[in-house]
Structure 1
Amino acid sequence: MLTGAAVLLGVTAGQAQAAEVSYATKCVPPSGIGLPDVIGTTKVDITAPATAKVGDTVDVVWKFTQAASKNPDIIDLPANSVQPSGTLKAAGAQTADVAMTGPRENPAIPKGGAMTLSDMKGTLKLTAAGQVTLTPDAYVVNALSTDTKCAPTETVQPAATITVTAGEGSPSTSPDPSQSGSPSPSQSPSSSTSPSVSVSPSASGTGTGGDGGQTDFTGKVVDIPYTCASPIGEKKATSPIQINARKSGGSYGLTVQFKKSVMDSPIDIPANKVKPTMQIVLGGSDEGTVKAEGPTNPAPIKQGAPIEIPDLTGTYKPGATGESTLSPGVLTIEALGTTTTCTPDSTAVSLTLNTQEQAGGASGGSGSSTTSGGSTTTSGGLAETGSGDHATLKALGLVAGTAILLGGAVFTFMPGRRLR
């Protein structure tokens, strides 16, 4: 019997253990969406070694058996678009906050489907002999570029206990609580690393297209601040834009260029799912707008790859004789079945052309411009104030059509609760 007991102890000592705990959780949706906070139930399994020695670094696994939310009825979440991170509390013989992070791995989650979160992992270095308890705490669900923050609303019971024995030369009593383990995780575990885009104020001038047989006209790069409105919220964005023209007869072929990639793709985007359109604003002698369109993305865009906004093209047939100006206007993004409209907070003239009125051309205008309060307004009606009051951001309309619309779909809801 004694021998059998010894064998049994030898087998079980140090083996990993798992236990499930359930706790009420308050989840806060991303700001600017207008959705209320939600109380749900989180169920977690914690796996850790049953025994270890002082000085050991042990692996800990946090498995969600139930998240505190479902995917609301807004949009299907694609595969590998959701990433969890959180904090595990160590207490007893030592006190520590253990940073836990899971990979961005999930199956496709349909509207109204249960949120499926990957297992989170972390490590804890044991510093004192005795009983060390492990208790799940707050966590963050990142879907593309948005965070939903969840925290317990009640005392959570420990989910695992490690019996720590003294190692050779190690203390047998608990050290000062300040000797904590891993730091708490960031509340934005997968924030974008794309570079900001900025343009020198000197770029806000105008390219001028004269006559005299010239056919190609190059505009100036202008920094345009946008407010993008989507079905789930609003986002500010700034981008450098250039309008060029090529004369053919009495008309001009226009090309709108976005000078830099503004963001890395937060998810895999299938081919032919993103299409941008812009209304170029006419001013000076002419007025009205000219539609410029871009092609859909010809190939899939891999997660982490730069999102390139294609050149937008259109045809301008002048409706007046004189100096006509062209400025970036409203940008519309159709992406994955949704539409986002980006309106300039202010605009600036990129190109000025000496035009001759053509039959059936643009609407024509008085050709005058006015100055009020230090800002010039073209007949297009948008102030040329530049973007001095706008911080350059890492996303523009294309991101509004992908990351904003998709990322917002992780807003927390109680299981079964549906968006009104």
Structure 2
Amino acid sequence: MSAAVFALLLGGAGMVMVASPAQAAEITFKVRCVPPAGGGSPVEGETTARITAPANAKVGDEVEVVWKTVKPASNNTDLMDIPKDSVQPTGWLALGGGTGELKLVGEKKNPPIPKKAPMVMSDMKGKLKLTKAGKVTLTPAKYDVAVTFPFGTFVTKCAPTGSVSAAHTIDVAGGGGPGGNTSNGNTNSGNTNSGNTNSGNTTSGNTDGGQNGGKTDFPGKPVQVKFDCGATVPGGITTPVTVNARKNGSGYDLTVKTAKDAMKAPVALPKGALKPSMDIKIGGADSGVVKVTGPANAEAIPQGAGVSLSDMTGTYKPGGSGKATLSPSDMLIEVTMAPGSAPLPVPCKAQSTGVSLELDVAAQPGGTTGNTSTTGNTSTGTAGNASTGGGLAETGAEDEGGLKALALVAGTVVLLGGAVFTFTPWRRLRGGTR
């Protein structure tokens, strides 16, 4: 029985038109995919979509439309396995006659996807309310692919290049009304929850007032800091930070520590991959910002091994007299996954912090000369020239809980390097192929 005949059913007072069985049509088109921010240049490929919807319906019907990815634009990269049930696609179909678009959403459901294996995505589905007689064409448009890892969710955005033909047409019979209105399925995205933050303002209790019996070392106390790293690290980063000081002439050498070996590397990290820096905010009797910087990791870190950020050092030269407080502030992590490549900056704003150290200081000439902060904002305050520092007492930060930053950043680099759904730009560094 043909679809047209099947669509005509005899009922009560006469002939009644109902939606016909769904029919499928495939279309292949070129796309341009853009990885998450900082993930390199956009890349282009080709994908095949199968659009399924009724061939015939009537005004007032709400029909289901399905977009199945028959051929993905790329395989998974050779950098990281994608876990089971972590890929969620969202697509949009352009409706004929310029009447709008229909959003289709897939479930977060997929088998484990090994390195280099074809990407597997669930079917995207949506509901289309038919409100006007005529022909409604369905044309694939843009689509997003979100991949959720334990350390965050990352989205690659793809859109067609050039013209795309309609993949399916619905012949709508019946009365008038505005056309092309759509009703879309709800999206269940993979939200990530960051750990709770206890700011816990603390002071060291040690002061340097000039009558301190020659005291030179001033250990601070760990402060739990929550960082907002924007879309790059969903959920942000929470870690204890400790500010220590050593008297050095008219100033202080600062050493800033985070938790040590509290996290396992989700991927192998090469030598020189992670280089941290942080702003230390000066308050109380003084004001300004000291920038402290740390060296990159001196040794490669195998996947699954403990990792940490290096100690960061800088110089604080007081610009005021009295009790000055030192608090961790914004952080920047520069990530370099291949020799000679430009580092990927991951800026993180401190959302909660506290005083780690209090010093009794005396103003020095040139102590408030202004300083450029880690995140690129210029502030007026204490000069923050880097120094070697070192030799300070351990602060106990190692025992204050897990440092989330490293797993988040390492995982982010893998994804920003072109994993997820795009053709990995890392092939240009490795000389490999898609």
Q: Would you say same fold, with TM above 0.5?
A: yes
Structure 1 residue 165 displacement after superposition: 1.6
CA deviation profile, 1:176-219 (whole Å, cap 9, x unmatched): 56x64258999xx847564798998x95x7332599xxxxx993
Structure 1 residues 219, 290: closer, same or farther in 2, change over 3 A? Answer: closer
The DSSP-based 3-state class of the residue aligned with 2:107 is: coil
Of 21, 31, 35, which aligns to 1:25?
31
Structure 1 residues 151, 184: closer, same or farther in 2, change over 3 A? Answer: farther
Of 413, 418, 422, which aligns to 1:412?
422
**CA contact 2:263–2:307 (8 Å) conserved in 1:** no
**What is the aligned partner in structure 1 of residue 246 from structure 2?**
283
TM-score computed with the length of structure 2 as normaliser: 0.54
**CA contact 2:43–2:423 (8 Å) conserved in 1:** yes
Residue type at the aligned position of 1:154? G
CA deviation profile, 1:87-124 (whole Å, cap 9, x unmatched): 111215x8230011111222222222211111101111
Residue type at the aligned position of 1:399? L
**What is the aligned partner in structure 1 of residue 240 from structure 2?**
241
**CA contact 1:29–1:412 (8 Å) conserved in 2:** yes
CA deviation profile, 1:53-104 (whole Å, cap 9, x unmatched): 2111111110000111222222222222221111111215x82300111112
**CA contact 1:57–1:123 (8 Å) conserved in 2:** yes
Of 133, 139, 160, which aligns to 2:168?
160
TM-score computed with the length of structure 1 as normaliser: 0.56
Counterpart-to-counterpart distance in 2, 1:380 and 1:236: 33
**What is the aligned partner in structure 2 of residue 248 from structure 1?**
none
Of 409, 413, 417, which aligns to 1:400?
409
Structure 1 residues 340, 100: closer, same or farther in 2, change over 3 A? Answer: farther
Residue type at the aligned position of 2:422? T
Counterpart-to-counterpart distance in 2, 1:196 and 1:329: 25
Structure 1 residues 25, 242: closer, same or farther in 2, change over 3 A? Answer: closer
| Aligned-residue identity in percent | 35
Residue type at the aligned position of 1:73? D
**CA contact 1:26–1:39 (8 Å) conserved in 2:** yes
**CA contact 1:369–1:376 (8 Å) conserved in 2:** no
Structure 1 residue 50 displacement after superposition: 2.2
CA deviation profile, 1:220-247 (whole Å, cap 9, x unmatched): 737586999xxxx99996646355xxxx
Residue type at the aligned position of 2:204? G
**What is the aligned partner in structure 2 of residue 61 from structure 1?**
66
**What is the aligned partner in structure 2 of residue 52 from structure 1?**
57
The DSSP-based 3-state class of the residue aligned with 1:399 is: helix
The DSSP-based 3-state class of the residue aligned with 2:367 is: strand
The DSSP-based 3-state class of the residue aligned with 1:138 is: strand
**CA contact 1:283–1:379 (8 Å) conserved in 2:** no
Q: Please report the RMSD computed on the Cα atoms of aligned residues, expressed in angstroms.
A: 5.2
**CA contact 2:75–2:119 (8 Å) conserved in 1:** yes
The DSSP-based 3-state class of the residue aligned with 1:208 is: coil
1:375 and 2:391 equivalent?
Answer: no
**What is the aligned partner in structure 1 of residue 131 from structure 2?**
127
Unaligned runs of 5+ in 2: 11-17, 213-218, 265-291, 315-325, 329-354, 370-380, 391-403
Residue type at the aligned position of 1:91? G
Counterpart-to-counterpart distance in 2, 1:97 and 1:331: 48
1:208 and 2:205 equivalent?
Answer: yes
Structure 1 residues 352, 370: closer, same or farther in 2, change over 3 A? Answer: farther
**What is the aligned partner in structure 1 of residue 273 from structure 2?**
none
Of 242, 251, 260, which aligns to 1:293?
260
The DSSP-based 3-state class of the residue aligned with 1:371 is: coil
Structure 1 residues 19, 401: closer, same or farther in 2, change over 3 A? Answer: same
Counterpart-to-counterpart distance in 1, 2:51 and 2:222: 58
Structure 1 residues 83, 53: closer, same or farther in 2, change over 3 A? Answer: same
The number of equivalent residue pairs is 305
Q: After TM superposition, list the pairs within 5 Å mapping 1:157-236 onto structure 2.
A: 157-166=165-174, 170-171=175-176, 175=177, 180-182=181-183, 190=189, 192=191, 194=193, 203=201, 206-208=203-205, 219=221, 221=223, 223=225
